[in-house]
Amino acid sequence: MADDLALDEVVRFTSDLIRLDTTNRGGGDCRERPAAEYAAERLADAGLEPVLLERTEGRTNVVARVAGTDPGADALLLHGHLDVVPAEAADWTVHPFSGEVRDGVVWGRGAVDMKNMDAMILAVVRSWARTGERPRRDVVIAFTADEEASAEDGSGFLADRHPGLFEGCTEGVSESGAFTFHDGSGRQIYPVAAGERGTGWLKLTARGRAGHGSKVNRENAVTRLAAAVTRIGDHEWPLRLTPTVSAALTELAALYGVDPDLARVDQLLEKLGPAAKLVESTVRNSANPTMLDAGYKVNVIPGEAVAYVDGRFLPGGEDEFRTTLDRLTGPDVDWEFHHREVALQAPLDTPTYARMRAAIEEFAPEGHVVPYCMSGGTDAKQFSRLGITGYGFTPLKLPEGYDYQAMFHGVDERVPVEALHFGVRVLDRFLRSA
């Protein structure tokens, strides 16, 4: 089991990493190198040989390998990203890059997404070095850049240019799973991610006839774009159940003692109450208009108008997504992928999933572990190019009233110290048994 020093270190490392401002504003405006160097130094102190890799100067990734006791076993990838989304200090109770520890809570951007997991990884590996523990299988550690944008400087770069570093890896674990979900009636649910919707960020372009704003114009690019955006925003996507979501609904129905009627999913979701939040965003594709850009003067009708849409599609749902967008945009608006990444699905009948479940149950016996599919995406998409099956497993035992999902990209992001301690214990238990 992780030693007491690991519990102290995970808090200190989380705080220190938060203080290193690795804000990713998109378009290449980010510098992860200070956090990468911090992580590499602590890995080296644990006797490992981390390598620092960059596609672009300052956009630094760290990779290291921990040798397991069974050289014939497949390796496991353990990864976390170093960049964070922007934070406006004026909106926060404490400065978002202070890393302040107050009343048993670590505050700051990245406390949940995901410098907490980065700190857990460091604390566990260093504990192994002190106690002489080793995992059964090789564990490849990757701290990545650029996850909060395109991942081109991070996991995409590593998968495409340095695949040899991940030799033998067949499975990987990372963010957004194994956290406490309180349903409001005393139940504690621990969802483990075994899938991700695909990413389909779209650029829509409408073209028309430019002209004076006072004249009749039936070929107005803004009007054409607005009509398409409205159709997309109003569209009701049909229900589509993937194996992961079906399993989640079946297990939740059993937990709540209701009929697991997957032919009437909307009614089933109503019976699940607050727990429906774990699956309601992953029972269908989605497309949400997010950005508009048109015109340069109020009395000039522009010849072109552009919009952006955040689209997500289920595993197996990309063809339907494309066909539907063709229909919704219509003949006067073109669309293309601004950024696209695959949907993922991981099997549940594996020793790895069973060991994740067992690790949680050992330290949270009152909890109920269920699978779920992430509505968004992670670096697991890029690592899947190497044949690595990804799971979301960042264990945190959270108090009632703590809104975990609101912490992601939200104001006053923070994580309880006790949650970090739980995470170290569970992660250590899982990795040594995996």
**Residues with catalytic function:** 83, 147
Select from 155, 22, 162, 15 the least CA-distant residue to 78: 155
Residue 159 CB neighbours (<10 A): 21
Is the Cα dihedral 245, 246, 247, 253 positive or negative? Answer: positive
Q: What angle do CA 65, 67, 69 make, to 5 degrees?
A: 155
Spatial distance between the Cα atoms of 257 and 282, rounded to a whole number of angstroms: 22
Three-state DSSP state, 352: helix
DSSP 175: S
Tokens 């107005």 locate to: 220
If DSSP codes are grouped into helix, strand and coil, which group holds residue 307? Answer: strand
Separation between Cα atoms, residue 321 and residue 194, nearest integer Å: 21
- Picking from 285, 286, 281, 189, the residue whose alpha carbon sits closest to that of residue 233 is 286
For residues 279 and 374, give the distance between their C-alpha atoms in angstroms, rounded to a whole number: 8
Contact 178, 186 (CB under 8 A): no
Cis preceding linkage at 374, omega within 30? no
How many angstroms separate the Cα of 180 from the Cα of each of 95, 191, 242, 357, 416? 26, 8, 23, 13, 12
Buried b / exposed e along 175-188 (16+ C-beta atoms within 10 A): bbbbbbbbbeeebe
Distance of CA 128 to the CA centre of its chain: 27
Residue 42 identity: R
CB 426 within 8 A of CB 359: yes
Checking 210-217 for CB contacts under 8 A at 24+ apart, the result is: 210/300, 210/301, 210/302, 210/303, 211/300, 211/301, 212/299, 212/300, 212/301, 213/298, 213/299, 213/300, 213/301, 214/299, 215/301, 217/301
Q: Map residue 16 onto helix, strand or coil.
A: helix
